């Protein structure tokens, strides 16, 4: 069981690094482990300022994770219009939004019972 936690922690660390490499904004981690019937253990949510930046964040996450821990997402969707891209690493699902789309769907409030960690950035 300890190994699974370490793998999740490692994956989260590299996902965050990938987001920060290209200055993704408003990064939050939602811990869903205490909530019944969830599809995964964590959501990581961030946003970019344009479809170009959203795609850059997605590419940076995948490259950083692949290089560091040789992991690839199980599924990626939304890259065509890059308003809301979902990267599914099975236990961790990353949501990369354009700001207005994130505000519209407000998935953080849908998962209001989740323990939320806001990641401070220096840019």
CATH number of the CATH domain containing 86: 3.30.460.10
pLDDT (0 to 100) of residue 83? 97
Average pLDDT, stretch 16-20? 98
% of the chain surpassing 90 pLDDT: 89
The pLDDT mean for the chain works out to 93
Give how many domains the chain has, as a whole number. 1
What's the pLDDT band for 61 if we cut at 50, 70, 90? very high
Nearest Cα to 84, choosing from 106, 111, 62? 106
Query: Could you give the C-alpha distances from 106 to 22, 54, 70, 95, in angstroms and in order?
Result: 23, 17, 32, 11
**pLDDT tops 80 at residue 75:** yes
Residue span of the structural domain in which 113 resides:
2-119
Instruction: Encode 96-113: b = buried (16+ Cβ within 10 Å), e = exposed.
Output: bbbeebbeeeeebeebee
């Amino acid at each position: 069981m300890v190994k699974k936690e370490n793998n999740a922690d490692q994956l989260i660390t590299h996902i965050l690094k990938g987001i920060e490499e290209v200055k993704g904004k408003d990064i939050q981690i939602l811990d869903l482990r205490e909530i019944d019937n969830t599809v995964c253990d964590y959501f990581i949510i961030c946003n970019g300022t344009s479809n170009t930046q959203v795609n850059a964040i997605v590419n940076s996450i995948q490259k950083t994770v692949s290089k560091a821990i040789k992991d690839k997402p199980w599924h990626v969707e939304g890259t065509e219009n890059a308003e809301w891209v979902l990267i599914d690493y099975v236990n961790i699902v990353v949501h990369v939004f354009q700001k207005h789309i994130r505000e519209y769907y407000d998935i953080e409030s849908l998962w209001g019972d989740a323990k939320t960690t806001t990641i401070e950035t220096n840019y």
